[in-house]
Amino acid sequence: MNKTLLIILTTALMSMSFADNPIKVGDSVPDFEGIDDQGRSWKLSDHLRINYLVVYFYPAAFTGGCTTQACSYRDLNKELAMMNASVVGISGDEVNNLSLFKKEHNLNFTLLSDKDGVIAKIFGVTVNNGGTNDTEIAGQKLQLTRGVTISRWTFVIDGNGKLIYRDNNVNASTDSQTILEFIKTHEQRKTCR
């Protein structure tokens, strides 16, 4: 069995157990896996060597709000890194779409493909039917498909794998700034204890 199929099946089984009871703030996040924008396996436990992991779900690459949100995370990446935080964006797009999206907008963080919505279900994020969108890259018109359309929600996981923040009413243009402020406040509270 190839590694990609094994990852999809493992994550699907995990999501089934969380579908009716998604994780809540304070819960441990299960060690999910996905395929990144380079077609490589990405596993949560390999990325918790930091204080904060921002996990944001978005509907589709190359659409207005999603591009705004991704570029704002790109632009605040240095400030987030100074807080020992990293970012991963997750959508139902195919890996190739994510690779094009990352290159076209010079995104400096990982994108994961969740074309079946199994990772989104672990977090309780609403998943709808997939779709297509047309875009033009370097003068070439492309029609990009996605397996599912995932709602725009954002989460923060601490270095111990605990969910410490959840927002299911995300504003695409201010999400990254909201997250940066949350992390700053969280750090201040930790130092006051």
Q: What is the pLDDT of residues 139-167, one digit of tens each?
A: 889 888 899 999 999 999 999 999 999 99
CA-based nearest residue to 87, from 77, 99, 96, 78 = 77
Query: Is residue 100 exposed (0-12), middle (13-18) or buried (19+ Cβ within 10 Å)?
Result: buried
Which pLDDT score is estimated for 17?
45
Provide the pLDDT for residue 153. 98
Q: Which of 55, 61, 66, 150 is catalytic?
A: 66
Of the pLDDT bands very low, low, confident and very high (cuts 50, 70, 90), residue 60 is very high
Q: Which CATH superfamily does the domain covering 3-20+27-192 fall into?
A: Glutaredoxin (3.40.30.10)
Mean pLDDT for the stretch of residues 91-112: 96
Residue 192 annotated to the active site: no
**Predicted TM-score (pTM) of this structure:** 0.88
